[in-house]
């Protein structure tokens, strides 16, 4: 009987140990998933910011070079130009309900207002982008509100002879469809490395450097620094480059946007070496 009790005790302790180990494994998995989600939020914000830059560049330069707006906008959007004043204005209205864009993978809603002080090819020209009730999502039922104040200043030629722009993002807030919120400010340099000599948008290539800081969806501060310049060309997405993101707990993760392929994929690597592929059009 004594041996039976001892055996039962050993089995019970072993069971508790296995249960505790399973609980620990599940907790680690949950934490890793949470970390991946936070970096997916950052990648989504990067993508949306770059998309707004490319979109507003295309429609604001329509005054200089004719543009087929249908190639970057959706049939349910309206573009209005007011170029009679010194400060010119373009308004892009996606409508009051979610509107699917040409790539078929995203929906947009609301208005973007763009003003600029001169020819965007001229040094010193400043472009300002202001959203009004602007939303973006991967489906009509998962719309994320994007609020910000962005200025883009033509800084002239850099030491390489390329035109570059100072991009300042202020008081940005991304309110996610599931209730999460991310806030940040950022300063980036957008270097025009290819296509500046032609009126054709399809050959334009920009390299983006710089960083940002803010508060993530857990309420913790974070900083993000571009390690390898983010490359934005005629593709819908950022096609290459890496960024390191450090959160309030001092843990760092890297986001790798790929090797140049035109897709919505990026790879997140956690500090423990865990990697996960994410879709940057989904926060």
Q: In this predicted structure, what is the pLDDT of residue 80?
A: 87
221, pLDDT greater than 90: yes
End-to-end CA distance of the chain: 60
Q: In this predicted structure, what is the pLDDT of residue 54?
A: 80
Which of 33-47, 196-210, 220-234 reaches the highest mean pLDDT? 220-234
65, pLDDT greater than 70: no
Q: In this predicted structure, what is the pLDDT of residue 25?
A: 47
Across the chain, mean pLDDT equals 84
Element of type H or E holding 42: helix 2-60
83, pLDDT greater than 70: yes
* 14-25: pLDDT as tens digits: 555 555 544 444
Q: In this predicted structure, what is the pLDDT of residue 28?
A: 44
| φ, ψ for residue 185, nearest 5 deg | -130, 150
Cβ–Cβ under 8 Å, residues 172 and 188: no
Three-state DSSP class for residue 150 = strand
Q: In this predicted structure, what is the pLDDT of residue 110?
A: 96
pTM equals 0.84
Distance in angstroms (rounded) separating the CA atoms of residues 125 and 122: 6
27, pLDDT greater than 50: no
Once rounded to an integer, what is the mean pLDDT over residues 148-159?
96
33, pLDDT greater than 70: no
Q: In this predicted structure, what is the pLDDT of residue 243?
A: 96
Local structure of residue 198 (DSSP, 8 states): S
Distance in angstroms (rounded) separating the CA atoms of residues 283 and 276: 14
Q: In this predicted structure, what is the pLDDT of residue 52?
A: 86
Q: In this predicted structure, what is the pLDDT of residue 152?
A: 95
């Amino acid at each position: 009987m004594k041996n039976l009790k001892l055996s039962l005790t050993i089995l019970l302790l072993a069971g508790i140990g296995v249960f505790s180990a399973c609980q620990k494994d599940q907790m680690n998995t949950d934490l890793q998933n949470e970390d991946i989600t936070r970096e997916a939020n950052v990648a989504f914000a990067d993508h949306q910011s770059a998309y707004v830059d490319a979109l507003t560049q295309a429609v604001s330069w329509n005054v200089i070079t004719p543009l087929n707006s249908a190639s970057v906008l959706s049939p349910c959007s309206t573009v209005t130009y007011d170029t009679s004043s010194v400060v010119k204005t373009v308004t892009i209205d996606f409508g009051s309900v979610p509107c699917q864009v040409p790539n078929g993978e995203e929906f947009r809603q609301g208005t973007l207002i763009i003003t600029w002080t001169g020819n965007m090819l001229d040094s010193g020209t400043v472009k300002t982008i202001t959203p009004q009730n602007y939303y973006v999502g991967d489906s009509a039922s998962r719309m994320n509100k994007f609020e910000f104040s962005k200025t883009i200043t033509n800084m002239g030629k850099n030491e390489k002879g390329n035109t570059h722009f100072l991009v300042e993002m202020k008081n940005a807030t991304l309110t996610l469809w599931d209730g999460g919120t991310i806030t940040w400010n950022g300063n980036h340099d957008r270097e025009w490395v290819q296509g500046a000599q032609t009126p054709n948008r399809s050959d334009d290539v920009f390299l983006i450097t710089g960083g940002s800081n803010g508060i993530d969806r857990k309420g913790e501060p974070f900083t993000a620094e571009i390690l390898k310049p983010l490359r934005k060309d005629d593709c819908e997405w950022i096609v290459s480059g890496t960024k390191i993101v450090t959160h309030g707990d001092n843990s760092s993760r890297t986001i790798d946007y790929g090797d140049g392929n035109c897709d919505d994929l990026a790879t997140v690597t956690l500090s423990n070496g865990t990697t996960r592929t994410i879709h940057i059009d989904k926060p």
